[in-house]
Structure 1
């Protein structure tokens, strides 16, 4: 019998496991994959990840941090408007997810977590005394509380969302992102992307409701694009990826002779958090709860923060021997911390996609609005900050209304 079982050893699960084990609880962490495992992701750790004190050593580890992005070039859908942004502080840290996620698991194991990879959790049940049972192919594991962090389409997460009644909505609010890591000479990256390792963001590539990117690292670049699930199913992804590479080559952002082996895809929650993120003593965390920025697709920080919040609520429940409100407390704390902002970002995304040309025009002409956009995109500024609306209206009047007279 475990105190807590965590399903899914990504950033949410490993973070929760570390905190829980550090408190003295008996924790089992399960994952279906053999670690280290490949993970489709651009690999950007936005700056707010610095709020985890123990992550600071990772951020100083040059073997794990492949580059630090301090700048970006953003391009409107038509290509007519384009603006650069340079920051004295990091915008994000670039990693390979297989390395970063394995490091987070190691940190949890160091605190006492029992980790079993290559173990698929296939079913879950809550028996009459409140004990949670997790079923794998070969075993039944029991615990007082479970955290389900098995990703956007994990088996247990899907089952819990069905029990909650949100799975249909969930499936209708999934994006798909595709990406590939391409080997590029470090000297080329130094010349083109500079010491700032400027990221490229090209909005509404192939008329998708999303953006295409280039994240330059040390001697590789992560390249990809994303859009709504139905949109992505309607296009030839391989053809569009090749077309994006040609676009980048024509702008001298990639070497002419660059090659790649394969493009990988992954589902991405895009509607913000689901309405309820718990069932009995089972908590959903990370992608499984929709804790992903609908605007940027960033999920690592929100996954880790949900893991941290889950651990605090669970530790308190064990200390007080009261598990009746564990789910409600978890949901309230997550929504107070970041959930409401993520929900607002889904509306912000629709606005940005619908008025994409104008928003980029104003950002090109107005350095302050430009900074606001980058800060919202990067998670450093709340979506509901009234300064953004005020500035946008001011620019609309200045650059579109008064200029016409």
Structure 2
């Protein structure tokens, strides 16, 4: 099996990204764990500070690491080096502008006129995927299906964090449909804020950097970070937040990662899902090559595989996002309940960061939330009587 990898950039290159992934990636991809530990400055996160729109906050702390952070510059370079070592041919600086499917294969054309031929194509070309569009799998994402996210990766000497083992997440930041985050890394901090794109365009004033800087100023006032935002490190980008597209395969084509909408809708995590879908796409491609059959009938196995592994999780993330983003009061109630129940607090953190399945813990979390809310009401009632 021969593989050709096309990338529009030249490596090493950075990419707009929070640079975080669930700790479980090391269990899911054990064959990569040692390589990543050797080549990437992985930073373990054991605590998460979760804040609601009203400012209520709770810190979840676990003995085992919850999350890994890293520089995307290093992470992507490490994976590319491994791909090369395994025999993948890499062509850098090839911006794809068209694909043409035929009876004998696929022709992929780059903006500079080069053409590449293959029996099939796996499109991992991001939120603006040319592959998905030209294969008839997507017309692009609407504003309601996108977030505008900001990020800034700055050296800790310039923008420091109060606690290098604690990540900070503000759900429903400022009562808006979105979030803010601060991710400590080994020698940097990554911070940013995100809003539904439709909300940003119609309801908010100012540039993305205005909101980014305001979030960091507020995080500084709360003692989460110290220092100042560096405008030179700032980037804004779009992120799909409505779940996977309706179909992720066609004759001779599969799409994965952001191109297929594989992003957690309320945390914004995408790297893990890109890796999972990428593996399933690659293994399905191997089956197609062995059979000499690149039709939808064979490639449909790809969608069946990823749905079995992450379909339920992604569908749940869409439902959670729609409820949280449309009801800031719900986020307030959840955080307050977690503050009074250590078990609920830990479960909330583990579910949010992908270490637990929501459906497996849903009943217990609902019961604990109800019990905590009831206790608060009884407490307020008793206080009124005592007064």
- 1:356 aligns to 2:356 (yes or no): no
- 1:290 aligns to 2:264 (yes or no): no
* Equivalences for residues 18-97 of structure 1 within 5 A: 25-50=1-26, 51-61=28-38, 64-79=40-55, 81-97=56-72
The count of aligned residue pairs is: 371
- 1:133 aligns to 2:110 (yes or no): no
SS at match of 2:243: coil
Query: What CA deviation, in whole Å up to 9, does each residue of 1:171-227 have, x standing for no partner?
Result: 5401111011122239964xx205xx1001112223331211111113321110111
Distance 1:155 1:310 in 2: 17
Distance 1:273 1:239, change over 3 A: same
Distance 1:193 1:92 in 2: 15
TM superposition score normalised by structure 1? 0.85
Q: CA deviation at 1:242?
A: 2.1
* Equivalences for residues 211-290 of structure 1 within 5 A: 211-233=179-201, 234-236=204-206, 237-256=208-227, 259-290=230-261
* Equivalences for residues 365-384 of structure 1 within 5 A: 365-384=340-359
Task: Calculate the aligned-residue CA RMSD, in Å.
Answer: 2.2
Distance 1:398 1:167 in 2: 49
Distance 1:141 1:394, change over 3 A: same
What's 1:193 paired with?
A: 163
TM superposition score normalised by structure 2? 0.89
- 1:115 aligns to 2:83 (yes or no): no
- Contact 1:281–1:326 (Cα < 8 Å) also in 2: no
- Contact 2:159–2:229 (Cα < 8 Å) also in 1: no
- Contact 1:291–1:339 (Cα < 8 Å) also in 2: no
Q: CA deviation at 1:299?
A: 0.7
- Contact 2:124–2:257 (Cα < 8 Å) also in 1: yes
Q: CA deviation at 1:259?
A: 4.3
* Equivalences for residues 317-328 of structure 1 within 5 A: 317-324=288-295, 325-328=297-300
- Contact 1:158–1:167 (Cα < 8 Å) also in 2: yes
- Contact 1:59–1:93 (Cα < 8 Å) also in 2: no
Distance 1:350 1:89 in 2: 30
- Contact 1:292–1:299 (Cα < 8 Å) also in 2: yes
* Equivalences for residues 136-175 of structure 1 within 5 A: 136=110, 137-160=112-135, 163-164=136-137, 166-167=138-139, 170-175=142-147
- Contact 1:352–1:359 (Cα < 8 Å) also in 2: no
What's 2:385 paired with?
A: none
- 1:391 aligns to 2:359 (yes or no): no
- Contact 2:173–2:180 (Cα < 8 Å) also in 1: yes
SS at match of 2:68: strand
Distance 2:233 2:33 in 1: 33
What's 1:331 paired with?
A: 303
Distance 1:232 1:333 in 2: 35
Q: CA deviation at 1:283?
A: 0.1
Distance 2:73 2:243 in 1: 25
List gaps (5 residues or longer) in structure 2.
Answer: 383-387
Q: CA deviation at 1:370?
A: 1.3
Distance 2:191 2:294 in 1: 45
